[in-house]
Structure 1
Amino acid sequence: MSRTTVTTTALVVLVWAALLSFGGVAAETVMLYPNIFADPPASLDRAREFLVAGGPADYFPPLGLAVVVTGLASVVLTWRDPRLRWWVAGAAAVFVACEFLFSVFFFWPRNEIMFVDPIGTHPAEELRRVAAEFVAGHRVRLAGGAVTAALAFTALLRQVRATAPAAATGSAGSTGERLPR
Protein backbone atom coordinates (compact mmCIF):
# COMPACT_ATOMS: atom_id res chain seq x y z
CA MET A 1 0.00 0.00 0.00
CA SER A 2 1.36 3.42 -0.92
CA ARG A 3 1.97 6.19 1.60
CA THR A 4 -0.75 8.25 -0.10
CA THR A 5 -3.26 5.43 0.40
CA VAL A 6 -2.27 4.97 4.04
CA THR A 7 -2.49 8.72 4.68
CA THR A 8 -5.87 9.01 2.97
CA THR A 9 -7.18 5.99 4.88
CA ALA A 10 -5.97 7.42 8.19
CA LEU A 11 -7.68 10.74 7.38
CA VAL A 12 -10.93 8.98 6.45
CA VAL A 13 -10.90 7.09 9.76
CA LEU A 14 -10.05 10.29 11.65
CA VAL A 15 -12.93 12.17 10.01
CA TRP A 16 -15.31 9.26 10.64
CA ALA A 17 -14.36 8.99 14.32
CA ALA A 18 -14.42 12.77 14.83
CA LEU A 19 -17.86 13.02 13.23
CA LEU A 20 -19.17 10.13 15.36
CA SER A 21 -17.83 11.84 18.46
CA PHE A 22 -19.27 15.23 17.54
CA GLY A 23 -22.57 13.68 16.50
CA GLY A 24 -22.75 11.76 19.76
CA VAL A 25 -22.12 14.89 21.81
CA ALA A 26 -24.68 16.82 19.75
CA ALA A 27 -27.29 14.06 20.14
CA GLU A 28 -26.60 13.83 23.85
CA THR A 29 -27.12 17.59 24.07
CA VAL A 30 -30.60 17.53 22.57
CA MET A 31 -31.87 14.11 23.70
CA LEU A 32 -30.34 13.26 27.06
CA TYR A 33 -29.35 16.54 28.69
CA PRO A 34 -32.82 18.09 28.81
CA ASN A 35 -33.91 15.03 30.81
CA ILE A 36 -30.79 14.58 32.94
CA PHE A 37 -30.41 18.22 33.95
CA ALA A 38 -34.06 19.36 33.98
CA ASP A 39 -34.56 19.40 37.75
CA PRO A 40 -31.57 18.30 39.83
CA PRO A 41 -31.35 16.37 42.10
CA ALA A 42 -34.52 14.45 41.09
CA SER A 43 -33.55 14.37 37.38
CA LEU A 44 -30.06 13.13 38.29
CA ASP A 45 -31.60 10.29 40.30
CA ARG A 46 -33.82 9.35 37.31
CA ALA A 47 -30.75 9.44 35.03
CA ARG A 48 -28.94 7.02 37.36
CA GLU A 49 -31.90 4.65 37.17
CA PHE A 50 -32.16 4.92 33.38
CA LEU A 51 -28.46 4.72 32.43
CA VAL A 52 -27.74 1.32 33.98
CA ALA A 53 -27.28 -0.87 30.90
CA GLY A 54 -25.15 1.71 29.11
CA GLY A 55 -24.58 5.39 28.76
CA PRO A 56 -22.19 8.09 27.62
CA ALA A 57 -19.39 6.70 29.81
CA ASP A 58 -19.51 3.47 27.80
CA TYR A 59 -19.55 5.16 24.39
CA PHE A 60 -17.25 8.16 24.52
CA PRO A 61 -14.00 6.81 26.06
CA PRO A 62 -13.35 4.17 23.36
CA LEU A 63 -14.47 6.58 20.64
CA GLY A 64 -12.27 9.33 22.08
CA LEU A 65 -9.32 6.94 22.10
CA ALA A 66 -9.99 6.18 18.43
CA VAL A 67 -9.97 9.90 17.60
CA VAL A 68 -6.74 10.46 19.54
CA VAL A 69 -4.95 7.45 18.03
CA THR A 70 -6.02 8.18 14.45
CA GLY A 71 -5.33 11.87 15.01
CA LEU A 72 -1.78 11.16 16.16
CA ALA A 73 -1.22 8.67 13.33
CA SER A 74 -2.52 11.25 10.86
CA VAL A 75 -0.23 13.93 12.30
CA VAL A 76 2.76 11.63 11.82
CA LEU A 77 1.68 10.70 8.28
CA THR A 78 1.03 14.30 7.20
CA TRP A 79 3.79 16.12 9.07
CA ARG A 80 6.02 16.53 6.00
CA ASP A 81 3.12 17.83 3.91
CA PRO A 82 2.57 21.55 4.58
CA ARG A 83 -0.85 21.41 2.82
CA LEU A 84 -2.15 19.10 5.56
CA ARG A 85 0.15 19.40 8.58
CA TRP A 86 -1.56 22.20 10.49
CA TRP A 87 -5.12 21.10 9.65
CA VAL A 88 -4.46 17.65 11.11
CA ALA A 89 -2.33 18.88 14.01
CA GLY A 90 -5.02 21.45 14.79
CA ALA A 91 -7.76 18.81 14.75
CA ALA A 92 -5.76 16.57 17.08
CA ALA A 93 -4.83 19.43 19.42
CA VAL A 94 -8.39 20.76 19.65
CA PHE A 95 -9.75 17.29 20.37
CA VAL A 96 -7.16 16.56 23.05
CA ALA A 97 -7.71 19.97 24.66
CA CYS A 98 -11.52 20.27 24.43
CA GLU A 99 -12.61 16.66 24.59
CA PHE A 100 -9.97 14.85 26.64
CA LEU A 101 -8.18 17.30 28.94
CA PHE A 102 -11.26 19.46 29.53
CA SER A 103 -13.25 16.32 30.32
CA VAL A 104 -10.65 14.98 32.73
CA PHE A 105 -10.26 18.20 34.67
CA PHE A 106 -13.75 19.67 34.40
CA PHE A 107 -16.35 16.97 33.68
CA TRP A 108 -15.01 13.92 35.48
CA PRO A 109 -15.09 15.53 38.96
CA ARG A 110 -18.66 16.73 38.32
CA ASN A 111 -19.71 13.31 37.00
CA GLU A 112 -18.33 11.82 40.21
CA ILE A 113 -20.51 14.14 42.30
CA MET A 114 -23.66 13.70 40.21
CA PHE A 115 -23.54 10.03 39.23
CA VAL A 116 -20.97 8.05 41.22
CA ASP A 117 -21.09 9.30 44.81
CA PRO A 118 -23.91 7.68 46.79
CA ILE A 119 -27.24 9.48 46.62
CA GLY A 120 -27.56 11.87 49.54
CA THR A 121 -23.82 12.56 49.77
CA HIS A 122 -24.20 16.09 48.42
CA PRO A 123 -26.86 18.66 49.29
CA ALA A 124 -29.44 19.53 46.61
CA GLU A 125 -28.05 23.04 46.16
CA GLU A 126 -24.57 21.66 45.39
CA LEU A 127 -26.05 19.20 42.87
CA ARG A 128 -27.93 22.05 41.15
CA ARG A 129 -24.74 24.14 41.00
CA VAL A 130 -22.64 21.26 39.65
CA ALA A 131 -25.30 20.37 37.07
CA ALA A 132 -25.45 24.00 35.88
CA GLU A 133 -21.64 24.11 35.61
CA PHE A 134 -21.68 20.85 33.67
CA VAL A 135 -24.26 22.12 31.16
CA ALA A 136 -22.38 25.43 30.73
CA GLY A 137 -19.03 23.67 30.25
CA HIS A 138 -20.60 21.29 27.78
CA ARG A 139 -20.57 24.09 25.19
CA VAL A 140 -16.76 23.86 25.12
CA ARG A 141 -16.95 20.16 24.36
CA LEU A 142 -19.60 20.69 21.68
CA ALA A 143 -17.59 23.47 20.00
CA GLY A 144 -14.37 21.45 20.26
CA GLY A 145 -16.00 18.48 18.57
CA ALA A 146 -17.31 20.66 15.75
CA VAL A 147 -13.91 22.30 15.20
CA THR A 148 -12.11 18.94 15.32
CA ALA A 149 -14.45 17.44 12.72
CA ALA A 150 -14.21 20.52 10.48
CA LEU A 151 -10.40 20.64 10.60
CA ALA A 152 -10.07 16.88 9.96
CA PHE A 153 -12.56 17.05 7.08
CA THR A 154 -10.69 19.99 5.57
CA ALA A 155 -7.45 17.99 5.69
CA LEU A 156 -9.14 15.00 4.04
CA LEU A 157 -10.65 17.20 1.35
CA ARG A 158 -7.26 18.79 0.63
CA GLN A 159 -5.64 15.34 0.48
CA VAL A 160 -8.24 13.95 -1.90
CA ARG A 161 -8.11 17.00 -4.16
CA ALA A 162 -4.31 16.85 -4.30
CA THR A 163 -4.11 13.12 -4.98
CA ALA A 164 -7.15 12.55 -7.21
CA PRO A 165 -6.25 11.17 -10.65
CA ALA A 166 -7.76 14.20 -12.42
CA ALA A 167 -5.47 16.54 -10.50
CA ALA A 168 -2.40 14.46 -11.31
CA THR A 169 -3.09 14.06 -15.03
CA GLY A 170 -4.63 17.43 -15.73
CA SER A 171 -7.61 15.77 -17.43
CA ALA A 172 -10.86 17.54 -18.26
CA GLY A 173 -12.68 18.80 -15.24
CA SER A 174 -9.60 19.56 -13.15
CA THR A 175 -9.60 23.18 -14.29
CA GLY A 176 -13.28 23.69 -13.70
CA GLU A 177 -14.38 23.13 -17.29
CA ARG A 178 -17.68 21.42 -17.79
CA LEU A 179 -17.72 17.73 -18.62
CA PRO A 180 -20.33 16.35 -21.04
CA ARG A 181 -23.21 14.48 -19.37
Structure 2
Amino acid sequence: MTGLLISLTAATTVSFGAVLGETVMLYPNIFRDPPSSLVEAREFLVAGSPSDFFPPLGLAIIVASLAAVGATLRRKGIRAYVAGAAVVYLCCELLFSAVWFWPRNEIMFVDPVGTHSSELLRATAREFVAGHWVRLAGGAITAALLFTALVRWVSGPARSRAIGSPSSVPGT
Protein backbone atom coordinates (compact mmCIF):
# COMPACT_ATOMS: atom_id res chain seq x y z
CA MET A 1 0.00 0.00 0.00
CA THR A 2 2.85 2.39 0.78
CA GLY A 3 4.27 1.95 -2.72
CA LEU A 4 0.88 2.60 -4.29
CA LEU A 5 0.39 5.81 -2.31
CA ILE A 6 3.92 6.99 -3.09
CA SER A 7 3.45 6.28 -6.80
CA LEU A 8 0.02 7.89 -6.90
CA THR A 9 1.20 10.96 -5.01
CA ALA A 10 4.19 11.28 -7.34
CA ALA A 11 2.01 10.85 -10.46
CA THR A 12 -0.54 13.45 -9.36
CA THR A 13 2.24 15.85 -8.39
CA VAL A 14 3.84 15.39 -11.83
CA SER A 15 0.45 15.94 -13.47
CA PHE A 16 -0.14 19.11 -11.48
CA GLY A 17 3.40 20.32 -12.21
CA ALA A 18 2.95 19.67 -15.93
CA VAL A 19 -0.32 21.63 -16.01
CA LEU A 20 1.37 24.43 -14.09
CA GLY A 21 4.28 24.32 -16.54
CA GLU A 22 1.87 24.57 -19.47
CA THR A 23 0.27 27.56 -17.79
CA VAL A 24 3.47 29.56 -17.51
CA MET A 25 5.46 28.33 -20.52
CA LEU A 26 3.10 27.25 -23.28
CA TYR A 27 -0.15 29.10 -22.77
CA PRO A 28 1.27 32.63 -23.05
CA ASN A 29 2.50 31.64 -26.52
CA ILE A 30 -0.42 29.48 -27.63
CA PHE A 31 -3.10 31.97 -26.58
CA ARG A 32 -1.15 35.18 -27.25
CA ASP A 33 -3.03 36.27 -30.37
CA PRO A 34 -5.58 33.79 -31.72
CA PRO A 35 -5.98 32.69 -34.45
CA SER A 36 -2.38 33.27 -35.61
CA SER A 37 -0.88 31.99 -32.34
CA LEU A 38 -3.03 28.83 -32.62
CA VAL A 39 -1.59 28.18 -36.08
CA GLU A 40 1.93 28.68 -34.71
CA ALA A 41 1.15 26.29 -31.85
CA ARG A 42 0.01 23.64 -34.34
CA GLU A 43 3.29 24.03 -36.19
CA PHE A 44 5.33 23.85 -32.98
CA LEU A 45 3.51 20.93 -31.33
CA VAL A 46 4.17 18.44 -34.13
CA ALA A 47 6.58 15.94 -32.59
CA GLY A 48 4.82 15.89 -29.24
CA SER A 49 2.07 17.73 -27.46
CA PRO A 50 0.15 17.71 -24.18
CA SER A 51 -2.29 15.27 -25.80
CA ASP A 52 0.54 12.73 -26.01
CA PHE A 53 1.42 13.10 -22.32
CA PHE A 54 -1.73 13.70 -20.30
CA PRO A 55 -4.09 10.88 -21.44
CA PRO A 56 -1.73 8.00 -20.52
CA LEU A 57 -0.75 9.69 -17.26
CA GLY A 58 -4.40 10.41 -16.48
CA LEU A 59 -5.41 6.81 -17.12
CA ALA A 60 -2.63 5.56 -14.84
CA ILE A 61 -3.74 8.00 -12.13
CA ILE A 62 -7.38 6.93 -12.43
CA VAL A 63 -6.54 3.22 -12.24
CA ALA A 64 -4.15 3.76 -9.30
CA SER A 65 -6.73 5.99 -7.57
CA LEU A 66 -9.39 3.30 -7.81
CA ALA A 67 -6.95 0.74 -6.42
CA ALA A 68 -5.96 3.10 -3.59
CA VAL A 69 -9.59 3.84 -2.73
CA GLY A 70 -10.28 0.11 -2.51
CA ALA A 71 -7.15 -0.53 -0.46
CA THR A 72 -7.90 2.23 2.05
CA LEU A 73 -11.60 1.59 2.67
CA ARG A 74 -10.82 0.15 6.11
CA ARG A 75 -8.36 2.92 7.04
CA LYS A 76 -10.64 5.56 8.48
CA GLY A 77 -7.81 8.07 8.96
CA ILE A 78 -6.90 8.26 5.28
CA ARG A 79 -9.78 6.92 3.19
CA ALA A 80 -11.47 10.33 2.98
CA TYR A 81 -8.25 11.90 1.64
CA VAL A 82 -7.75 9.18 -0.97
CA ALA A 83 -11.41 9.08 -1.99
CA GLY A 84 -11.56 12.87 -2.05
CA ALA A 85 -8.48 13.04 -4.26
CA ALA A 86 -9.99 10.47 -6.63
CA VAL A 87 -13.27 12.38 -6.87
CA VAL A 88 -11.54 15.73 -7.42
CA TYR A 89 -9.27 14.24 -10.08
CA LEU A 90 -12.14 12.51 -11.88
CA CYS A 91 -14.25 15.67 -11.81
CA CYS A 92 -11.58 18.27 -12.63
CA GLU A 93 -9.45 16.22 -15.01
CA LEU A 94 -11.59 13.59 -16.71
CA LEU A 95 -15.16 14.88 -16.65
CA PHE A 96 -14.38 18.58 -16.90
CA SER A 97 -11.85 17.92 -19.66
CA ALA A 98 -14.32 15.81 -21.65
CA VAL A 99 -17.08 18.40 -21.34
CA TRP A 100 -15.06 21.62 -21.51
CA PHE A 101 -11.63 21.12 -23.08
CA TRP A 102 -12.07 18.40 -25.67
CA PRO A 103 -14.65 20.29 -27.76
CA ARG A 104 -12.52 23.45 -27.62
CA ASN A 105 -9.37 21.51 -28.53
CA GLU A 106 -11.21 20.20 -31.60
CA ILE A 107 -12.06 23.75 -32.68
CA MET A 108 -8.60 25.19 -32.03
CA PHE A 109 -6.22 22.35 -32.91
CA VAL A 110 -7.96 19.55 -34.84
CA ASP A 111 -10.39 21.17 -37.27
CA PRO A 112 -8.63 22.36 -40.43
CA VAL A 113 -7.22 25.88 -40.32
CA GLY A 114 -9.78 28.31 -41.75
CA THR A 115 -12.79 26.25 -40.67
CA HIS A 116 -13.78 28.72 -37.94
CA SER A 117 -13.94 32.49 -37.83
CA SER A 118 -11.27 34.50 -36.04
CA GLU A 119 -13.84 35.68 -33.50
CA LEU A 120 -14.92 32.12 -32.68
CA LEU A 121 -11.28 31.09 -32.27
CA ARG A 122 -10.60 34.04 -29.93
CA ALA A 123 -13.72 33.29 -27.88
CA THR A 124 -12.84 29.59 -27.73
CA ALA A 125 -9.29 30.40 -26.60
CA ARG A 126 -10.63 32.70 -23.84
CA GLU A 127 -13.04 29.99 -22.67
CA PHE A 128 -10.26 27.41 -22.69
CA VAL A 129 -7.94 29.57 -20.59
CA ALA A 130 -10.76 30.43 -18.14
CA GLY A 131 -11.59 26.75 -17.67
CA HIS A 132 -7.94 25.90 -17.30
CA TRP A 133 -7.91 27.43 -13.81
CA VAL A 134 -10.44 24.80 -12.68
CA ARG A 135 -8.13 22.06 -13.91
CA LEU A 136 -5.11 23.67 -12.26
CA ALA A 137 -6.92 24.02 -8.92
CA GLY A 138 -8.18 20.43 -9.17
CA GLY A 139 -4.65 19.16 -9.77
CA ALA A 140 -3.33 21.08 -6.77
CA ILE A 141 -6.11 19.80 -4.52
CA THR A 142 -5.65 16.21 -5.73
CA ALA A 143 -1.90 16.26 -5.12
CA ALA A 144 -2.34 17.89 -1.69
CA LEU A 145 -4.96 15.36 -0.59
CA LEU A 146 -2.80 12.43 -1.67
CA PHE A 147 0.28 13.88 -0.03
CA THR A 148 -1.72 14.24 3.19
CA ALA A 149 -2.96 10.66 2.86
CA LEU A 150 0.59 9.42 2.30
CA VAL A 151 1.95 11.28 5.33
CA ARG A 152 -0.89 9.98 7.50
CA TRP A 153 -0.38 6.45 6.18
CA VAL A 154 3.36 6.46 6.80
CA SER A 155 3.20 8.15 10.19
CA GLY A 156 0.16 6.19 11.42
CA PRO A 157 1.86 2.87 12.23
CA ALA A 158 4.97 4.57 13.62
CA ARG A 159 2.86 6.80 15.83
CA SER A 160 0.81 3.89 17.21
CA ARG A 161 3.96 1.84 17.83
CA ALA A 162 5.51 4.77 19.69
CA ILE A 163 2.40 5.30 21.80
CA GLY A 164 2.15 1.61 22.73
CA SER A 165 5.84 1.01 23.37
CA PRO A 166 7.06 0.60 26.98
CA SER A 167 9.47 3.50 26.62
CA SER A 168 6.58 5.87 25.90
CA VAL A 169 4.72 4.97 29.09
CA PRO A 170 5.55 7.43 31.89
CA GLY A 171 7.42 5.94 34.78
CA THR A 172 8.94 2.95 32.94
Out of 15, 26, 36, which is 1:21 matched to? 15
* 1:163 maps to 2:157: yes
CA distance in 2, matches of 1:39, 1:172: 68
CA distance in 2, matches of 1:173, 1:118: 72
* 1:131 maps to 2:129: no
* Runs of 4+ that moved beyond 6 A: 171-175
- Which letter maps to 1:140? V
Task: Indicate the residue corresponding to 1:55 in structure 2.
Answer: 49
* 1:100 maps to 2:100: no
* 1:77 maps to 2:60: no
Measured after TM superposition, the shift of residue 172 of structure 1 is 10
Other structure's SS at 1:121 match = coil
Offset from partner CA, 1:122-154 (integer Å, 9 cap, x none): 000000000000000000000000000000000
Other structure's SS at 1:83 match = helix
Consecutive unaligned residues in structure 1, runs of 5 or more: 1-6, 176-181
CA RMSD of superposed structures (Å): 1.8
Measured after TM superposition, the shift of residue 163 of structure 1 is 2.1
Q: How many residues align?
A: 168
Measured after TM superposition, the shift of residue 168 of structure 1 is 1.3
CA distance in 1, matches of 2:133, 2:16: 12
CA distance in 1, matches of 2:21, 2:2: 28
Consecutive unaligned residues in structure 2, runs of 5 or more: none
Correspondences of 1:166-177 after superposition (within 5 Å): 167-170=160-163
- Which letter maps to 1:102? F
- Which letter maps to 1:39? D
CA distance in 1, matches of 2:19, 2:160: 36
Measured after TM superposition, the shift of residue 66 of structure 1 is 1.2
- Which letter maps to 1:58? D
Q: What's the TM-score once normalised by structure 1's chain length?
A: 0.89
CA contact (8 A) 1:41 1:127 kept: yes
Task: Indicate the residue corresponding to 1:150 in structure 2.
Answer: 144
Out of 4, 9, 12, which is 1:10 matched to? 4
The percent of aligned pairs where both chains have the same amino acid is: 61
Q: Structure 1's 133 and 152: CA in aligned 2 closer, same or farther, altered over 3 A? A: same
